[in-house]
Amino acid sequence: MRSLSWSVHSLFVGPILLAGLAAQAQSVPTPAATTTTTPSVLAPGLLAPDFIIDPPVPQPAAPQVETLPVEQPLRLEVEVSKRRVSLYRGSSLVKRYPIAVGRPGWETPTGTFQVAQIVHNPDWMNPMTGAVIRGGDPANPLGRHWIGFWTDGTNWIGFHGTNRPESVGLPVSHGCLRMHNRDVAELFAQVQIGVPVTVRP
């Protein structure tokens, strides 16, 4: 009979405890919903734009084309009486060189010609005997550079070096124009086939 009374008591206590817990649960306030706001990163005084416009991309500048001056052509002018040859570029004098000219009976021809031969280490044939001295031979009276501008079909006349530098400036050649070896080497490096050659008395 004792155990039965405990069970009945338990039946009455259980619902009361549950009802109390339910009432307590209803009395606990529900926390209010919170909203997190991201702080603005704009500088003070600036308003956030509705949208952002990318700045225009600058167009590349047009390439600058440099116009180079047209190089004036070279020409040679020989003055037999002054025993010199002048190198011109256009109307500007580049340099003058002393020369030996043709002896009496072998005068240097006058007129207007053009460079027709450019030879390094030319052979030389004696116009009197026909003997040939090969190019590069120290005994070769033409030296190491030859610039030919006149021919009669057999013989040639032109600028050349010499193994007799003391003769430069004198009328001693067979019509050719002797030059100091350093001078004709300098001239040789500048002229080309077709350069005009004017020979004046």
- Say if residue 99's pLDDT is above 80: yes
Of the candidates 120, 160, 174, 180, the residue annotated as catalytic is 160
Question: For position 15, what pLDDT does the model report?
Answer: 41
The residue ranking higher by pLDDT, 46 or 95, is 95
Q: Does the active-site annotation cover 174?
A: no
Question: For position 149, what pLDDT does the model report?
Answer: 98
Q: Does the active-site annotation cover 145?
A: no
Q: Which two tokens stand for residue 13?
A: 């206590």
Question: For position 10, what pLDDT does the model report?
Answer: 41
134-174 pLDDT per residue, tens: 999 999 999 999 999 999 998 899 999 999 999 999 999 99
Of the candidates 120, 145, 176, 180, the residue annotated as catalytic is 176
- Say if residue 104's pLDDT is above 90: yes
- Say if residue 86's pLDDT is above 90: yes
Query: What residue has token string 């040679």?
Result: 76
CB burial of 89-120 (b: ≥16 within 10 Å; e: otherwise) equals: eeeeeeeebebbbbeeeeebeeeebebbebbe
For the chain, domain boundaries: 74-200
- Say if residue 106's pLDDT is above 70: yes
* DSSP of the chain: -HHHHHHHHHHHHHHHHHHHHHHHHHHSPPPPP----PPP-SPTT-PPPSS--PPPPPPPPPPPPP-PPPPPPEEEEEETTTTEEEEEETTEEEEEEE-BEEPTTSPPPPEEEE--EEEES--EE-TTT--EE-TT-TT-TTTTEEEEEEESSS-EEEEE--S-GGGTTSEEESS-EE--HHHHHHHHTT--TT-EEEEE-
Task: Give, in words, the CATH class of 74-200.
Answer: mainly beta
